[in-house]
Amino acid sequence: MIGIIDYGMGNITSIKNMITYVGGDATIVSRPDDLRQMDKVIIPGVGAFDNGMKKLEDKGFVEVLNVIALEDHKPVLGICLGMQLITKKSDEGGLSGLGWLDAETYKMQNTQNGKALRIPHMGWNIVKVVKESPLLLGLTNESRFYFVHGYAVRCHHREDILSTCDYGGEVVAIVQKDNIYGVQFHPEKSHKFGMKLLYNFSQLAS
């Protein structure tokens, strides 16, 4: 069973809808105790970094998440803000992130090489696979995903990056550090491409 954390941030109903649609089992989890029993965990999230971190803290999820990700080594997937929360820190706020990934979250600039760039990066973008992973089975370099974000992740280790997209330069789209995954886009809003990715996640060994 995949536990989708309900900490009041983001559109979790649609994540559950899509996992169910591709034949997976998912449930929305609002209590940290229930999370321990899950095989896999999704950290969703829309909104501001500090607000997200604070809500995870306040609801008591941080401790149990650390156990699941770092001791139990169960697959964990951060979506959008959820991916940013697994980095060490963000330009968007002062709180520390979960810090599982040696990376930080930076504010995207609205000019690039002197050209204006609209921020947030909002829309469908083609994602380029730079490293193979079971999460990406069946996804080609023609796969497109729906992005909505004004902050992005900078990895300190190239090998943590599974795929990138181009928006006024390279933007990290998917990361993996052992059992920990993050996607900057919204698979739950990305038609068949998102279905493939969430199906792959549901099939990972835990």
Partner 1 sequence: MLRTRVIPVLLLLDKGLVKTIKFSNPRYVGDPINAVKIFNEKEVDELILLNISPSRRETGIPLREITDIASEAFMPLGYGGGISTMKDVYAVFQSGFEKIILNTAAWRDRELVKMAVAEAGGQSVVVSIDAKKNIWGKYEVYVDGGRKSTGINPVDYAKEIEGLGVGEIFINSMDRDGTQLGYDEPLITSVAQHVQIPVVACGGAKGVEDFVKAVRCGASAVAAGSYFVFYGKHKAVLISYPDYGMLEEALTL
Residues 13, 96, 140, 141: which binds partner 1 (CB under 8 A)? 13
Residue nearer to partner 1 on the CB measure, 134 or 150: 150
Both structure tokens of 137: 């089975």
Q: Determine which one of 92, 121, 149, 186 is catalytic.
A: 186
Q: Is 11 in the site for partner 1 (CB under 8 A)?
A: yes
Binding mask 30-49 for partner 1 (x = CB under 8 A): ----------------xxx-
List the beta bridge partners of residue 3: 27, 41
**CB of residue 52 to partner 1, shortest distance in Å:** 10
Please name which of 131, 126, 130, 82 lies closest in space to residue 105, comparing C-alpha atoms. 82
Residue nearer to partner 1 on the CB measure, 18 or 38: 18
Q: Determine which one of 73, 80, 159, 191 is catalytic.
A: 80
C-alpha distances out from residue 65 to 25, 38, 101, 153, 197, Å: 20, 11, 14, 20, 22
Q: Is 206 in the site for partner 1 (CB under 8 A)?
A: no
Residue nearer to partner 1 on the CB measure, 123 or 134: 123
Residues 179, 184, 190, 202: which binds partner 1 (CB under 8 A)? 190
> Is 155 an active-site residue?
no
Residues 172, 184, 194, 199: which binds partner 1 (CB under 8 A)? 194
The residue count for binding partner 1 (CB under 8 A) is: 36
> Is 165 an active-site residue?
no
Catalytic residue numbers, as ranges = 80, 186, 188
Q: Which residues bind partner 1 (CB under 8 A)?
A: 10-11, 13-14, 17-18, 21, 46-48, 51, 81, 110, 116, 118-125, 146, 148-150, 166-167, 186, 188-192, 194-195
